[in-house]
Chain A
Amino acid sequence: MNAFKLFSDSTLVEAIKNKNNLNEAVLHLYREHAAVARSFIMGRGGSEQDADDIFQETVISFIDTVQKEKFRFESGIRTFLISISKNLWLNELRKRQRSDNREKIFETSREQEDAGVSEAIGDRELKQQLQKMLDGLGESCRKILILFYYENLPMKEIVSHLHYENEQVVRNKKYKCLQQLTEMLKENPVAAKQINELINK
């Protein structure tokens, strides 16, 4: 018999925000909401793999939104997740078959999306590019940046975690990795365009 941790909407958001029991929280999202999202996607031409991929992206967008403190409880978590999934899937379908008249059917079923949902989805192309660049950094760089900027571990702990000689070595390595990632961003047209637009606003 397995005991699963139960979350209310507010305790779930707290757990995600504080990165406390995050695995349990994500598992809860899957257990409680994946089936509904899957049924929507698979009922609209998606395969099982599509449904799983879209729900994965949904959860990532939701966590990012919560951790950036942009989730404002304007709707319940389920409604919010399903709206993200629907919009991601409709965008994906549009991309796959722009000229197909099925698109018109999907368009009519598109719901009025709230501002929070479009913010959560953000620029998907840019997110994909960011992921690609991070993957291109290599394992040790990715790890060091994640431990410092996402896990917020102090240098001392990173030294013992990754078995570096001392804090200075980690600091130098972290600086080089960040610089490498920034250089990759500057060379990426999608990222550069976004920054350019932001600066020239």
Chain B
Amino acid sequence: MLQNNEFLLVDYLDNHLSQDETTRVNTLILHDKQVATEWEFLKMAVDAVELGAIREQVMQVRQSFSNQVQPATGFSGTVVRNMYRSGLRIAAILILVLGVSLVYKYSTVNNASVFQQQFADYSLGTTRGEHTQNVLEESFRNKDWNGVTTLFNLESEKTNKTYFLAGMAAMEQKNYKTAVSRFENILAANAKTGDNYFQDEAQYYVALAYLMNNQADKGIALLNEIRGNKDHQYYVLARRISSTDLKIIALKNKK
């Protein structure tokens, strides 16, 4: 097919043609089988783009939804017991309990406890029937963290997604320094291109990695940033950390 026709069809697809040109293309599609075939392929390409965009968005929400559900169920074990009998006793016990819990809280809240409370395994969405499409993703789903790292190192063209999966593999292996570097790579790449591919994921998990990598100040600042941004995918999850806990770890991390 002539390249001119290809340009014409793309302009037709993009609604960039005049009335006359549109009529001409309509006629071509009706009477020229080759042009009609080309047109159908173009429409299918746009379908693929639309489906891909929807899939990306749904997978992000799925992740955010499962993150919201997991910690919520994790917290359900907390029980407040009815242990008070009279008014005076209540007051006395309350003061005692408050004092004890403050001391207890201060002594038990630290970078690791916040990390453990907040860290949730990342569940990678799947495209059913494409299990062999990406060996790295498959290794990730199988929790083969060494495999993910090896495949990542072998990759010649690394993407934000592979940086993220390799970062999560490092987190699972408690190698927080490497995790920080991989997540920071995504943030730097996005800052350069203006893209936001895996931006929210990288921000949230690098904040947690900072806590475990002696960079608590950076982690706390980033968690506070996420807590202040309702549009952030991890907003709900970050809001689960109490501001008291953040203040305690900030205090403890001050020299």
Contacts and interface: CB of A to CB of B under 8 A. Distances in A.
Interface of A: 2, 22-23, 26-27, 30-31, 34, 49, 52-54, 56-57, 59-60, 63-64, 67, 92, 124-125, 127-128, 130-135, 138-139, 142-143, 145-146, 148-151, 160-163, 175, 178-179, 181-182, 185-186, 191, 194-196, 198-199
B94 to A, nearest CB: 24
Given A135-B133, A162-B193, A182 B42 contact: yes
B62 A30 contact: yes
Contacts of B185: none
Contacts of A57: 128
Contact of B50 (A34, A64, A175, A198): A64
A27 B65 contact: yes
B152 interface: no
A11 to B, nearest CB: 17
Nearest to B36: A199
Nearest to B123: A52
Given A130-B47, A162-B193, A191-B44, A53 B126 contact: yes
Interface string B110-151: 000000000000010111111001100000000000000000
A198 B57 CA distance: 30
Nearest to B59: A56
A8 to B, nearest CB: 19
22 contacts: A26-B57, A31-B65, A34-B65, A54-B128, A56-B59, A60-B55, A125-B129, A128-B127, A131-B130, A132-B127, A135-B52, A139-B160, A142-B49, A162-B193, A178-B10, A181-B45, A182-B38, A182-B41, A182-B42, A191-B41, A195-B44, A199-B37
B157 to A, nearest CB: 8
B102 interface: no
Contacts of A60: 51, 54-55, 58
B41 A142 contact: no
Contacts of B36: 199
Residue of B40, B46, B53, B194 ringed by the most chain A CB atoms within 10 A:
B53
B65 A130 contact: no
Contacts of B41: 182, 185-186, 191, 195
A57 B14 CA distance: 28
Contacts of B130: 128, 131-132
Contacts of A142: 49, 52
Contact of A2 (B66, B123, B134, B236): B236
B178 interface: no
- DSSP class of A's interface residues: helix, strand, loop or mixed? helix
Contacts, number: 135
When A and B form their complex, which 6 residue pairs have the shortest distance between CB atoms, in order from nearest? Answer: A130-B48, A150-B53, A134-B52, A26-B61, A30-B65, A146-B53
Given A53-B126, A135-B133, A194-B44, 9 more contacts: A23-B57, A53-B125, A131-B127, A139-B197, A146-B53, A161-B194, A182-B41, A191-B44, A199-B33
A130 B44 contact: yes
Nearest to B42: A182
B40 A149 contact: no
Contacts of B7: 175
Nearest to B34: A199
A124 B130 CA distance: 12
B181 to A, nearest CB: 20
Given A131-B51, A151-B53, A23 B33 contact: no
B54 A163 contact: no
A27 B64 contact: yes
A163 B65 contact: no
